Structure 1
């Protein structure tokens, strides 16, 4: 349905919106881009993005790469590491985080110089970003379920350990395939565009249809699969884990409880604000309430800040899920002692093969 262009209120509605992948300006339909841009100047938003995103994204890339490469390094050096479901999930999580980090330099460059890589790269980078975003969230969910089995259902998990390991590998294949399917909108709608000032950008340009059904569907999928479902599963699993640990008479249970709470807290604090903005964006697509240019600019800036906060999770994953574990810390020390033999004198070696269910405080990975 075409908008009534004689209606001054309709003309003020900011048809362009900040794309949740790149932060660049996209449009529902090209018919109104020029009119909206002339009424609402987004140059302040672009300047903020130019100064804010590149240094932060490069910092995330450096820290996240170091942490996740260390995880992969440990797994490649200790072949017998991949003997539990959590180990399989952690390795896939590190790979997903690294692939996700590979997309951030493109967005950092885009913030400074605009999108100079063309439509094909726009689709590829956007799809790679979304594939690994969804795979990360789903793998975190799988880790929560595995911790539930290892701690709450210890006996059952021990008896079916061989089947569970096979199941974990099949689950990872399903996770990656599902993430690829969920990234189909990026292949369809992402493309390189150019605004009135000849600024090029990579953005999602949805097919125009009544009530913005396409955009709403994509946003709902991202919110549900990328946040709501993982959060519900994590809360359920970790609530039962906390209940089990509180009943255990273990000296280390308090430490394990702190780890559980840290995992949930970091996930919620990093993902909830940005997903709340996506919910608001979806509501705007249903019934636009922002008709003031200053409000639209504030929404764009807030989205960029909260999006970058959500990206920091790939830096924290190695710390929360790996390096808090006793086995990983000891294996990491063994690797450093291997390359620095002088510092390894007097250090007691141990086998890194340890059953995950040896203790109810199984966060000692």
Structure 2
């Protein structure tokens, strides 16, 4: 979150006009809170809905369910920190030093957790599709390993978040800001963020999904093309939301002269906002595309009496019938990701 707070005095070293600097500060003052609140509302609703469906109906029956319940949990805690940053962007940090360290730690913890869980979901899909028979026979062992992996992810995320907690502090510039200002270990922190938060998930997606696509192309199943579309959608959304922000961070860390340009700060600000959209899109990409989840979602809507207000008579029945049809063939289910 230290990227969200820029010392206005810093712009005195820029080659751009002071009017441009002031325009950027005004833009950031209104742009950041708007993005934070949109991501907060959408992420809160989407991830809460996913958690409700999984807790109430799906009961963690598979390894995929274990990962998918940890993902919205991490995203949910992440988005709950955004209203504090939105208020601080408009005014200043008024929540104290302890709250500053706590929210920086929570933000970073759940950022790492989300990305590492995405990596595990990718690898789980690889095993489920490419080695379907072996995965089916070792379901109990995979469940145990999956739960242990989730615990390990939270522990590792906490450990790599410690620098943010230890060195996070409230700084007095033109206004009080909460951020991370220790330059001595900033390179190490950036390397950890880039590795665990971008390159590791990207490498897992590229390798695993390449093999999965090859497997599906040789498979016989009426859902093969839908599975391929889902794969391309997952990879495309990850690349479009995460690559720009991580690219400008790399440029800033290796070329200091770019950091003195107001236009470059616009790029950092906008790409960071785009990167935050993952917290809103994850529920759609990793839950709503599944037949089983959609069936349970319509059951939830039916049980709370929302179907008449939505003008829907019984789509949950058709989803259930489609799911039963899909599970009629073991070969189709083994080589299809659509059920995931």
Normalising by the residue count of structure 1, what TM-score does the alignment of the two structures yield?
Answer: 0.83
SS of 2:257's equivalent in the other structure is coil
Report if the CA contact (8 A) 1:22-1:107 is conserved. Answer: no
Q: Deviations over 1:302-335 (max 9, x none)?
A: 1111111000001000101100111111111111
Q: Secondary structure at the match of 1:192?
A: strand
Q: Is the 8 A contact 2:109 2:158 kept in 1?
A: yes
TM-score (norm 2): 0.89
Shift of 1:290: 3.8
Structure 2's unaligned 5+ residue stretches are none
Matched, 1:25 2:6: yes
**1:108 corresponding residue in structure 2:** 86
Partner of 1:68: 47
How far apart, CA to CA, are the structure 1 residues paired with 2:221 and 2:193? 40
The match for 2:222 among 248, 251, 272 is 251
Name 2:283's counterpart in structure 1. 318
Partner of 1:5: none
Deviation per CA, 1:88-143, whole angstroms, max 9, x where unpaired? 00000010000000111111111100111122111111111100000000000000
Find 1:231's aligned residue among 190, 202, 208.
202
**1:362 matched to 2:330:** no
8 Å Cα contact 1:144/1:237 also seen in 2: yes
Conserved 8 A contact 2:133-2:334: no
Query: Which structure features the higher share of helix residues?
Result: 2
Deviations 1:344-365 (A, max 9, x none): 6796495999989833113323
- Compared with structure 1, are the counterparts of its residues 83 and 205 closer, same or farther at alpha carbon in structure 2 (3 Å cutoff)? same
Q: Does 1:330 align with 2:295?
A: yes
8 Å Cα contact 1:89/1:168 also seen in 2? yes
Aligned position for 2:268:
303
Q: State the aligned residue count.
A: 325
2:103 alignment counterpart: 125
- Structure 1 spans left out of the alignment, 5+ residues: 1-19, 27-32
Q: Distance in 2 between matches of 1:22 and 1:117?
A: 19
Distance 1:308 1:346 in 2: 35
Larger radius of gyration: 1
State how far apart, in whole Å, the 1-side matches of 2:315 and 2:285 are: 29
Aligned partner (choices 140, 145, 149) of residue 123 of structure 2:
145
What secondary structure does 1:115 align onto? coil
CA contact (8 A) 2:294 2:316 kept: no
Counterparts of 1:215 and 1:45, CA distance in 2: 25
Of 182, 193, 205, which residue of structure 1 is paired with 2:181?
205
Query: Against the structure 1 CA distance between its residues 204 and 247, is the aligned structure 2 distance closer, same or farther, given a 3 Å change threshold?
Result: same
Measure how far apart 1:22 and its partner are. Answer: 5.0
Specify which of 259, 264, 272 is matched with residue 243 of structure 2.
272
Equivalent-residue separation in structure 2 for 1:119 and 1:298 (angstroms): 32
1:45: how far off?
3.0
Q: CA deviation at 1:192?
A: 0.7
Tell me if the contact between 2:290 and 2:338 (Cα under 8 Å) persists in the aligned partners. yes
Matched, 1:289 2:268: no
* Distance across 2 between alignment mates of 1:345 and 1:23: 46
Distance 1:256 1:114, change over 3 A: same
CA 1:139–1:73 in 2, change beyond 3 Å: closer, same or farther?
Answer: same
The partner residue of 1:58 within 32, 37, 52 is 37
Query: C-alpha separation between the residues in 2 aligned to 1:218 and 1:274?
Result: 16
